Structure 1
Amino acid sequence: MPGSGVFGLGYTGLRILNTLKKENAVLGISKTTQVEGSAILDLGDRNALKDFGNKHEAHKFDASIITFPIHKLENQEQLMETIFNISHNVWLFGSTSIYKRIGSDITEKTPLDPEHDRYGSEQKFLERGGKILRLSGIYGPERNPANWARKGLVKKTKRQLNLIHGDDIAEAVRLLLSYTGNDLPNELILSDGQWHTWHEIFRFLEDHQKIQTLPEEKMDREDSFVDSSLIRKFLPGLQTKDFWGELEKLEELI
């Protein structure tokens, strides 16, 4: 029986699968993506999910990672019951957007927004004994922040941009699953911990003639710096990529 299960093989799930299988047995589960070490399963199909649970309950995963927002599934209760039944430990990816913007920094102690669409399902998940890794904005190959600027999805303001590279997420998961202590908090935040604003990114792109020069705009809402220092206390070996170096690669400047 594989040591870990990765539920959802999207942008982050595939990276996690490829990272974990270098060291341990792992099974990826996806509705459509089929790669080495994966199985096809529609997690929204009640009968298929029941059969999958029955098949694996005798030999549980050491840990499972749910990489997608479970609140979008009509059978989210069945999904949670199944995965917890076949796993000794379960992690769920969340988003730092669920925190209220009430101060200059966001930490695990920052209050959550009960109106957020993930709030209800995440609270039920935590009540079952799961752990949540809340991620900042994910970037990397095929997720280039410069394209968000080019498409007009973001404005040239001094809003703080909190990011984490897809490969860094996979490495953080590897370290979390390798952690031997029993004192990990139920909720952790992951970001690259670097300060950069959209204004700086626009200026960088303008200076390299990657976009036309645009005037600065006023911030339409306040934002905060996502502080990921807590997870680094538990994972002192965690390294995250330099954003500006990665942006140069994505823009083919080096």
Structure 2
Amino acid sequence: MLQPFGARKGPFVIGHRGAAGYAPENTMAAFQRGLALRADAVELDVNLSKDGELMVIHDPTLNRTTNGSGLVCHHTAAEIQALDAGSWFDPSFSDCRVPTLREVLQWAKDRTKVVIELKNGPIFYPDIEVALVRLLDELNVRDQVMAISFDHVVLGQLKAIAPDVATGVIYASRVPDAPAMAKLVNADLVMPYWAMLTREEVEACHAADLFVSPWGGPEQDYQHILSLGVDAVGADYPDRPRQFMAD
């Protein structure tokens, strides 16, 4: 299995949607803030535009985080990037735009790891994994990213064409055998919902050489989550888990 952070030892902090507590999620302002707050990686979400561009936005619609409306896949990249993606968070961020994945990866290259969640539901994007691998190869950043998804099938398809890209299965319910589930699609990470994770599951995953990074979890529970022996935690405020970690 691939080790997402190489020989470095965790636990690591992953800036959720950059630093979603401090800046508009999935914008360059959030990614820059996450890095400034010593996040070891930044996490983001991608949906496909009408013209096939990987757009960094969580929802399949524009409504919540921009001043636009409708499905991402019904708009071109240029149309989406003309929208205000920051004022919903705070008027001082009115100049924020929805970045393309290309823009984020160009900025992140040689700076930080990037965790890319492939959104493939409720809108299905055929060959989204092909578009991702093509971009990674163009920018020569395969070793700098981790691709994660609730759609485990798309991860298996990605591994088939790019076995050297680290992948992670996300899941929201208890499963009888997390290592077996990950093995089905040759994943390197397991990303369970934090409240359902146990030390026994962490140990079983580590025995199978899997990296464990739960998602969700309020900041008051970081100490508990870290006590389970996980390899990484995601955080909207990337500076806050550090108080529970030894330097």
- Asked if Structure 1 and Structure 2 have the same fold, meaning a TM-score greater than 0.5 normalized by the shorter chain, the answer is no
Higher RCO structure (Cα 8 Å, ≥6 apart)? 2
Which one has a bigger Cα radius of gyration? 1
TM-score, reference length from structure 2: 0.35
TM-score, reference length from structure 1: 0.35
